[in-house]
Amino acid sequence: MLSSSSGDQIRLTIGRDFDVELESEQLSNLRSIENFTGYGPDQSKVKGRMEIDFLTTSLQWIGEVLNHVANKERHVRMLYDVLDTIAGGLSDELTAIPNDCSTMVRLKTDALIAAIPPMKSRMDATREYLKYLKERSERLSAVLFAMLTHEDAAINLELADSSRRIAEASKHDSSAMKTIAVMTMAFLPATFFAALFAVPSLDWDNDNVIKGNFWVYWAFTLPATALVFLIWISADDRIGLRNLIRRSPAAEKLA
């Protein structure tokens, strides 16, 4: 049997262990998040926008806190059952003690039984504190999730605005390219005919303007033009095939 001081020692040890575990790293993270975000029991000023990485990490920490609280609640229930079992067993044992036994045995048993109600009271207080922490964590988790959704929406708006600006810039570039194309089309016929009329194979001073070697001009011009178009078509098809292969599922698996 245990003495009264032993019962007090058990009660103090159990209470101290719960106090230490309740002041764990998870709860420290919870308070840090509350202080940083401004959503806490001792905070009044709400911070501005926050990074998505911080919000995601904070939600992960809150999840760890909720797991920690659930584990402590399980420990409290187990300890409560153990105390009930011990109390019932000691009561039966106290009844079964013969009258001729030492008074010290009865005193020790009574002291241990007397230590159980204060421990239950401490467990009740711990249970209420865990309930408070659970509600506090769940509300902070809801706030962080709302902030994460808001931040995601804000980023989408920024992306939409950036896309709009890019579209406007592309529109300006397209207008500039269109202007260049129009100017090219305007001067291309004149340039072509100026170059053609300047060909030495054409003699404008004679009655027979076209000389006999004028065919050489077309013999080189037409094949060269066809070759340029073939090279362009081949290069364009090769680039398209390469992009198609890169987007294929097999290429994604290899990547």
pTM: 0.50
161-175 in b/e form (b: 16+ CB < 10 A) is eeeeeeeeeeeeeee
Tell me the mean pLDDT in the region 148-162: 86
| CB-neighbour burial class of residue 212 (10 A; exposed 0-12, middle 13-18, buried 19+) | exposed
* pLDDT exceeds cutoff 60 at 194: yes
Binning pLDDT at 50, 70 and 90, where does residue 12 land? very low
The values of phi and psi at residue 202, to 5°, are -110, 120
> What's the pLDDT at 230?
93
Long-range contacts from 172-177, C-beta under 8 angstroms, 24+ separation: none
Residue 98: pLDDT band (50, 70, 90) is low
Residue 226 has pLDDT above 80, yes or no: yes
pLDDT (0 to 100) of residue 139: 87
Is residue 190's pLDDT more than 60? yes
* Residue 171's pLDDT band (cuts 50, 70, 90): confident
- Band (pLDDT 50/70/90 cuts) for residue 223 is very high
